[in-house]
Structure 1
Amino acid sequence: MAAHGSKKVIYAALAGNTLISITKFVAASITGSSAMLSEGIHSLVDTGNQGLLLYGMRKSARPADKKHPFGYGAELYFWAFVVALLIFAVGAGLSIYEGISKVLEPHPVSDPTINFVVLGAALCFEGWAWFVALNEFRTTKGKMGWIEAVSQSKDPTVFTVLFEDSAAMLGLIVAAIGIAISHFFHIPWMDGAASIVIGIILACTAFLLAYETKGLLIGEAASDEMELEIRSIVSAHPAVTMVNELRTLHRGPSEILVTLSLDFENSMPVSKLEAVIADLEDHIRDRFPPIRRLFIEAQSHKDHLDIAKQMDEQA
């Protein structure tokens, strides 16, 4: 996904959550609703999260330097992981704490009208932000299923916002149900119970985000389709006799590192070998612009197997 698409999703969520968090806190202070307070905390955390994602995108765009020769692309993955931790520690933790306090010491919610008005407005804002994120995610999903698309995605900004907004809408529904039961059926502790459920929703969201971003932080390969096509490009060259090894690594959503070990024709002079490698690099980079670093090693297939065997024995 292009960077401008990711930023559009984040800006939409940032604008919506900023307005929503203010109105939720005002409503919570007027009515004393624990569920509404949890929703305010939720929206405030989401607002901060979008700021962190934008910061991560800016920092990851820095050019490579001597200390970081492969660039800063992976910094976006770090900040996405921090977002998951914040959702769990702040959003889920405070919501569950507030809910337990309300269940242990329940008190009735005053006129809930303002709560329902705020929740309805929030649902509209969150729905709009969710729809923007969903449309952006669909552009990269292709024919893959939703779970597979999230698992294969290398851009955490979009699926993070999509998860956050999905959790937000579920939280709004839970808050509305809890407040309604608390007020109309005179069961004040249900307001606190709704806050606990909101916290559990946030905890589950944080776990999913942490799981996905952990894989990106550790390092994930490019798609199978890309690797197959790179192999096809290289194997089709008449000077290449064997593809010994192909390794790919995403350093960012649109920043890929590729290493190739190739067995070339033995009779080829060095000057021609250099020209062949340059030609292969041009073909691969033209086909896949996100490949920012490409290293091609000339190595006989036998030597490659011997080294691989030695590495296995040392492991």
Structure 2
Amino acid sequence: MADHGGNKAIFAALGANLGIAILKFGAFLLTKSSSMLAESIHSVADTGNQVLLLIGGKASKKKADDEHQFGHGQNRYIYAFLVSIVMFSLGGLFSLYEGWEKWHEPHGIDSWAWVPIVVLVGSILLEGRSFLVANKEAQSTRGKRSWIGYLRAAKSPELPVVMLEDAAAVTGLVLALIGVVMTVVTGDGRWDAAGSGAIGVLLVVVAIFLAVEIKSLLVGESASAETDRRIREAIDTQRGIGLIHLKTMHLGPDELLVAAKISVQKADVSAEQLVDAINATEARIRDAVSQARMVYIEPDIYRDDYESTTGAPAQEEED
């Protein structure tokens, strides 16, 4: 997915969360609602998360140097992982603590009861708009996959992170609205506390899901099945060249490391012919997969136990 699309969704979420956080804090100061405080902290955490994503995107664009010879693309994964930590601690755990405390010392909403309801309804509309922006940007890359499949397969973290945050925000706002309305209707502050607790559980679950997926990217995920297929086809296209084995790893969302061992059929091939064959193979890989920024090819002489591996992983032989 393009950085432009991810940044558009980030800025939309940043503006929405910043404005909403101010309104929620105002409503909390007037009503002392536990759900409003939990939602206020939630919006502050989300605002900080958008800033982290923007910092990660900028840091990833630094040029490779002697200390980081493969570049800085993984900064986008690192900062996205920090987002999950902030969501878990500042958002989820704080909301759970606030809900637990107010459950044991409940109090109703005696004054300005209409303020949190108006703020929450308005916040739902604003967060919903932010979610729709992220959803629109993601449609071009989601294809026919389910949303869960898309979130788990995505190599760029920004849009999935924003979509999860916005979805959690809208759901959390609905939970807070239920808690506030029931508190106003019944006069029982435990409804407000329950709303805060439910928001905490929601944020913890989303944060854990996000952390697991980003951790996988940090460790180093291989290319998608479709990208792997295109690379294999690009190698096997040239006559006299066969693929022995292939390894890929994302150095960043838009940077793919490709390491391949190929077989050359003629034992008497000259060094010049071998170099030409390797260069042609590299060019075809880059034409087939624009993300293949770094391609390393090791040649070997064809033997009967080497078979073309188009469409399936090869038996691996290491020298």
Which TM bucket (shorter chain)? Answer: over 0.9
After the TM superposition, which residues 284-299 of structure 1 pair with which residues of structure 2 at under 5 Å, given as runs? 284-299=285-300
Match in the other structure for 1:17: 17
Match in the other structure for 1:269: 270
Query: Does structure 2 retain, via aligned residues, the 8 Å contact 1:92–1:200?
Result: yes
After the TM superposition, which residues 53-64 of structure 1 pair with which residues of structure 2 at under 5 Å, given as runs? 53-64=53-64
After the TM superposition, which residues 19-98 of structure 1 pair with which residues of structure 2 at under 5 Å, given as runs? 19-98=19-98
* Cα distance, 1:98–1:303 mapped onto 2, change above 3 Å: farther
* Cα distance, 1:205–1:162 mapped onto 2, change above 3 Å: same
Q: Distance in 2 between matches of 1:64 and 1:166?
A: 36
After the TM superposition, which residues 1-315 of structure 1 pair with which residues of structure 2 at under 5 Å, given as runs? 1-109=1-109, 110-240=111-241, 242-265=242-265, 266-300=267-301
Which whole-Å deviations, capped at 9, do the CAs of 1:117-164 have from their partners, x for residues lacking one? 111111111001100111111111112222211111101110111000
Q: Distance in 2 between matches of 1:176 and 1:193?
A: 11
Return 5+ residue gaps in structure 2 as ranges. Answer: 307-314
Q: Distance in 1 between matches of 2:115 and 2:214?
A: 38
Task: Note the C-alpha offset of 1:251.
Answer: 1.2
* SS across alignment from 1:67: coil
Q: Distance in 1 between matches of 2:27 and 2:292?
A: 50
Query: Does structure 1 retain, via aligned residues, the 8 Å contact 2:107–2:188?
Result: no
* SS across alignment from 2:239: coil
* SS across alignment from 1:299: strand
Q: TM-score, normalised by structure 2?
A: 0.93
Query: Does structure 1 retain, via aligned residues, the 8 Å contact 2:245–2:316?
Result: no
Task: Note the C-alpha offset of 1:309.
Answer: 6.4
19-28 vs 246-255, which moves further: 246-255
Q: Distance in 2 between matches of 1:106 and 1:57?
A: 43
Q: Alignment length, in residue pairs?
A: 309
Q: Distance in 2 between matches of 1:226 and 1:46?
A: 33
Task: Note the C-alpha offset of 1:300.
Answer: 3.6
* Cα distance, 1:35–1:303 mapped onto 2, change above 3 Å: farther
Q: Distance in 2 between matches of 1:219 and 1:123?
A: 37
116-125 vs 34-43, which moves further: 116-125
Match in the other structure for 2:312: none
* Cα distance, 1:270–1:179 mapped onto 2, change above 3 Å: same
Task: Note the C-alpha offset of 1:214.
Answer: 0.9
Task: Note the C-alpha offset of 1:299.
Answer: 2.1
Letter in 2 for 1:173: V
Query: Does structure 2 retain, via aligned residues, the 8 Å contact 1:244–1:301?
Result: no
Q: TM-score, normalised by structure 1?
A: 0.94
Return 5+ residue gaps in structure 1 as ranges. Answer: none
- Aligned-residue Cα RMSD (Å) equals 1.7
> Greater helix percent: which structure?
1
Q: Distance in 1 between matches of 2:243 and 2:138?
A: 34
* Cα distance, 1:257–1:12 mapped onto 2, change above 3 Å: same
Task: Note the C-alpha offset of 1:287.
Answer: 2.3
Task: Note the C-alpha offset of 1:20.
Answer: 0.3
